[in-house]
Amino acid sequence: MSKELVQIFDTTLRDGEQVPGCKLDAPQKLEIAARLDELGVDVIEAGFPVSSPGDFKAVAQVAALVKNATVCGLTRSVQKDIEVAAQALKAAKRPRIHTGIGTSDSHIKYKFNSTREQIIERAVAAVSYAKTFVEDVEFYAEDAGRTDNEYLARVCEAVIKAGATVLNIPDTTGYCLPAEYGAKIKYLKENVTGIEKAILSCHCHNDLGLATANSIEGVINGARQIECTINGIGERAGNTSLEEVVMVLRQHPHLNLDSRVNSKLLYSTSQMVSHHMGMIVQPNKAIVGANAFAHSSGIHQDGVIKNRETYEIIDPADVGVNASSIILTARSGRAALAYRAKLVGYELTKTQLDIVYEQFLVFADRKKEVLDDDIHEIVKLSPIDR
Ligand code: KIV
Ligand code: ZN
């Protein structure tokens, strides 16, 4: 059975760029946009055009540059925002306006001092207005994670009637549990008249570390777009990490879901974004962290040297990482030392290895990590015939 494709909507340049200190200049934005297009994402959210002249210009430049992906601009449910976004997207081959409004009772009362009925009217007006500029209009129901499902279904129904092509269901505060978020998507699939005319989209924040799990539950329950960022960057604890959702779908074929992303470009894209944003990738970050394919305990090293799959579920080459690494520390055993020694030119017999290993432990107890140069030194100091 052929797999169903999940659209990957990258918002590194919009939600990701909202991170304090991560501001990008125009050439950096363009370089990242070109790379995202090459990576194979379906949609690039390039910015929030009305927010500043610089953002307007960046969205317009990205729109003109991108060859394959849909280019999207964010707006509030405000006419001026929509007009400015439409203008910024003029040169896009596939333009999309992403408009929306808060739908949780808390947003309605405190942010808008409004009522549920008035919010539906504003949502419909925004989508209808956006449709006068572009065919592809995505609607976001901000704080959908904390919005009552019955009301959310009414909002979705109304904006589909107004022409929305994609319904974004953001867990804006990262509050939902995976089962709860999945049930929300299922409820909308089953209770919104006209839902077959639109794609449901997951936009999950990571405040409780559940963004990836929630997005995956969303697609298991019928959503067909995931909004995410490279390295999971974004407001507060971040957004869903693109590399994680792409690889979850790829590593679990029984889900029958996949994306068009070329996973071999994931590592280099992660490095590019980290470099331009000045934001280091935590070493234990899944898929792209420095330790994602590094093995340091003796038991694990022995297992990986015998067969990589003993402790790795992903082939590093599939995400563009050169090779698994065997890190030499005081926890390493003879197998790891022999392996690394061979890589730098020493084929040790069993007796030689026993002797070199004694010397290695002396070194390793003094240093956090034993490097290639240290191996040469260790072998030199070991009383073996060579
Ligand atoms: O988190 C959120 O709700 C958003 C919307 C503006 C889409 O980023
Ligand atoms: Zn967001």
User: For residue 98, what is the enclosing H or E element?
Assistant: strand 95-102
What is the span of the domain harbouring residue 299?
294-381
Pocket test for ligand 1, best of 10, 11, 15 (most atoms within 8 A of CB): 15
Residue 229 shares a structural domain with residue 316 = no
pLDDT tens digit string along 306-330? 999 999 999 999 999 998 999 999 9
Of 212, 242, 277, which residue constitutes the final position of a domain? 277
The burial class, CB within 10 Å (0-12 / 13-18 / 19+), for 385 is: exposed
pLDDT tens digit string along 322-357? 989 999 999 999 999 999 999 999 999 999 999 999
Is residue 287 a part of any domain in this protein? no
Is residue 285 a part of any domain in this protein? no
How many whole angstroms from 86 Cα to the centroid of ligand 1? 19
Residue 55 shares a structural domain with residue 185 = yes
How many whole angstroms from 142 Cα to the centroid of ligand 1? 6
User: For residue 351, what is the enclosing H or E element?
Assistant: helix 350-366
Inform me whether the pLDDT recorded for 21 exceeds 90: no
Residue 346 shares a structural domain with residue 242 = no
Over residues 248-267, the mean pLDDT reads 98
Residue 68 shares a structural domain with residue 216 = yes
The burial class, CB within 10 Å (0-12 / 13-18 / 19+), for 220 is: middle
Token digits of residue 91: 């040169």
Ligand 1 binding site (Cβ under 6 Å of any ligand atom): 15, 140, 142, 168, 170, 172, 203, 205
Residue 144 shares a structural domain with residue 248 = yes
Residue 305 shares a structural domain with residue 244 = no
Reduced to 3 states, what is the DSSP secondary structure of residue 164? coil
Residue 165 shares a structural domain with residue 239 = yes
**Main-chain phi, psi angles of 326, to 5 degrees:** -105, 110
Over residues 151-155, the mean pLDDT reads 98
Residue 39 shares a structural domain with residue 70 = yes
Is residue 186 a part of any domain in this protein? yes
Pocket test for ligand 1, best of 168, 181, 204 (most atoms within 8 A of CB): 168
Task: Work out which ligand 1 atom sits closest to the CA atom of 205.
Answer: 1
How many whole angstroms from 282 Cα to the centroid of ligand 1? 24
Cβ-contact 295, 305 below 8 angstroms: no
Mean pLDDT of the chain: 97
Inform me whether the pLDDT recorded for 151 exceeds 80: yes
pLDDT-based confidence at residue 22 (cuts at 50, 70, 90): confident
How many whole angstroms from 172 Cα to the centroid of ligand 1? 6
- Which amino acid, residue 318? D
Token digits of residue 160: 């589909």
pLDDT-based confidence at residue 386 (cuts at 50, 70, 90): low
Is residue 284 a part of any domain in this protein? no
Over residues 247-274, the mean pLDDT reads 98
pLDDT tens digit string along 24-42? 999 999 999 999 999 999 9
| pLDDT score recorded for residue 348 | 97
Domain total for the chain? 2
Chain Cα centroid distance, residue 331: 33
* Non-local CB neighbours of 180 within 8 Å, separated by 6+ positions: none
Lowest mean pLDDT among 17-21, 132-136, 314-318: 17-21
Task: Work out which ligand 1 atom sits closest to the CA atom of 98.
Answer: 7
- Bridge-based pairing of strands 294-295 and 4-5 is unpaired
Inform me whether the pLDDT recorded for 1 exceeds 80: no
pLDDT tens digit string along 175-223? 999 999 999 999 999 999 999 999 999 999 999 999 999 999 999 999 9
* Non-local CB neighbours of 53 within 8 Å, separated by 6+ positions: none
The model's pTM: 0.96
Q: Give the domain CATH number at 234.
A: 3.20.20.70
* Non-local CB neighbours of 42 within 8 Å, separated by 6+ positions: 7, 8, 9, 69, 70, 225, 259, 260
Residue 235 shares a structural domain with residue 307 = no
Over residues 265-292, the mean pLDDT reads 97
Is residue 347 a part of any domain in this protein? yes
Task: Work out which ligand 1 atom sits closest to the CA atom of 74.
Answer: 6
Is residue 386 a part of any domain in this protein? no
b/e sequence 170-183, b meaning 16+ C-beta within 10 Å: bbbbbbbebeebbe
Q: What percent of the chain has pLDDT over 90?
A: 96
Over residues 102-124, the mean pLDDT reads 98
Cβ-contact 207, 175 below 8 angstroms: yes
* Non-local CB neighbours of 195 within 8 Å, separated by 6+ positions: 156, 160, 188, 189
Using alpha carbons, select from 224, 229, 258, 256 the residue that is nearest to residue 242: 229
Which residue's CA is minimally distant from atom 7 of ligand 1? 140
Is residue 303 a part of any domain in this protein? yes
Over residues 276-301, the mean pLDDT reads 96
| pLDDT score recorded for residue 20 | 87
Residue 247 shares a structural domain with residue 363 = no
Residue 342 shares a structural domain with residue 225 = no
Which residue's CA is minimally distant from atom 2 of ligand 1? 172
* Non-local CB neighbours of 353 within 8 Å, separated by 6+ positions: 334, 337, 338, 341
